[in-house]
Chain A
């Protein structure tokens, strides 16, 4: 991608995470970012310090290198299911809100990658019956802690931002704190469960 980055198609988020772990060990000169996406890893460097063509040639070998796998961390978030889109989403999905909540709290989600805003997790593992296209008309302000759906993903808004996802409810977790190390509560590969609370 451009003269200072390489976009590597990895097929899925887990492979992007694994390649990221391998590349972190390499200490590439002028490395600026390693950004996993849904099916890719973006490697951003100072191109005058690292030759991207050379790196691209080494990728097949690097992708075969086993990365140190850490056991996934488990998180459970209590959610108050009273979001602005709970009723309309249930109607669009043709189920009542109780069933929507039951289906949403059933799976263990996996953090595929973070993006959109600092600490915002893209969670995979959503019940396929809960897939909805993004709202046609994004909200100007979605409250911090909002648990929301779009497409195959579930997400949690770490801070109040504009947003086009369907907000089901709110959790209290502090997902991003720049004064904390690491600043994001969730990391790719982490497992997340939601529990309904009143």
Chain B
């Protein structure tokens, strides 16, 4: 069990979403940055689709009511366990009563907290994801709420080598959209060469962008069609919207491009104010980059002795807090303390 002490601006329970119901108008929802969710789950020994917490803009503060293991991934934040700084991207052991405090998210926009055994809330249509558009599967977390966690086996101890980093000025790779020819050559050139900015009106349904106006060439209405995450739709205002995990099942605006699957996580990590550009690739490249990302997931999570995890914690944290003299990591049995200079 976990008690939410301070939820942060928007913290929701997410898994990999509701597959198979879009034909009934049900949004998929699920983690906006599924890659980070999967890393967090693997770090605590869960299956990829276990439910975890997605924290937006700022992390939560919570108290563990049972012993267990947790991991933090995604947008960078500073975190403490009972006031001792702890690193992201590795397994952390927690005791009943331990308080985790997460700070503001920098270099990214969404952070994930996975718990060994997963978060247990009632599934709706095969998923526990909080759907902020259609209102399915729970609501954003509130202070005082208690979350149940599942049973887990063993004491996982993993860390991620070269964890992802999310610069707030980036290039997203795209493929040409199905309605690309609805746009003038001028609009297509502007799309390919201009910088866009993420607006604060963005949410889990889509990232609203500000940039040069992308004019439609045709003055006709597009018949409603199914749409996917990463689709870049252009409403009559000419300001594009990149669809994120909680997008509606169908849409009626022309799509100028689609962000490739391997870059959806990077897209979801762009905070309001971040700058981005688009660069077109073909399907072969898109699939190759997706394969590389899967390989990275399978080869960068390394099992480690708890002493090694403590050493890593010190190394990571020393870079963040210059005054830090020691780091402590518990593996469920022992508590290991490493001092600077050891």
Would you give the shortest CB distance from A104 to chain B, in whole angstroms?
21
Residues of chain A with a CB closer than 8 A to B23's CB:
20, 33-36, 113-114, 188
C-alpha spacing A117/B136, complex, angstroms: 11
Per-residue contact bits, chain A 13-38, to B (CB 8 Å; 1 contact, 0 not): 00000001000000000001111111
Partner of B175, one of A2, A20, A151: A2
For the side of the interface on B, what is the size category? 35 or more
The answer to whether residues A183 and B125 also contact, given A2-B175, A48-B290, A118-B25 and a CB cut-off of 8 A, is yes
Judge if B21 is at the interface, Cβ distance under 8 Å: yes
Residues of chain B with a CB closer than 8 A to A169's CB:
none
C-alpha spacing A39/B252, complex, angstroms: 12
- Tell me the residues in window 181-226 of chain B with beta carbons closer than 8 Å to chain A beta carbons: 221, 223-226
Interface centre among B25, B124, B136 (most CB of A within 10 A): B25
Partner of A183, one of B19, B26, B175, B178: B26
CB closest chain-B residue, reference A184: B24
Would you give the shortest CB distance from B87 to chain A, in whole angstroms?
31
The answer to whether residues A35 and B226 also contact, given A48-B287, A113-B250 and a CB cut-off of 8 A, is yes
Would you give the shortest CB distance from B201 to chain A, in whole angstroms?
14
Would you give the shortest CB distance from A170 to chain B, in whole angstroms?
19
Partner of A3, one of B22, B26, B290: B290
Residues of chain A with a CB closer than 8 A to B80's CB:
none
Partner of B24, one of A40, A48, A119: A119
Interface centre among A5, A38, A118 (most CB of B within 10 A): A118
Would you give the shortest CB distance from A27 to chain B, in whole angstroms?
13
Residues of chain B with a CB closer than 8 A to A47's CB:
261, 287, 290
Interchain CB contact under 8 A, A42 and B226? yes
Interchain CB contact under 8 A, A159 and B135? yes
Q: Can you sample 6 A-B contacts with CB below 8 Å?
A: A37-B225, A37-B226, A47-B261, A48-B290, A114-B249, A176-B25
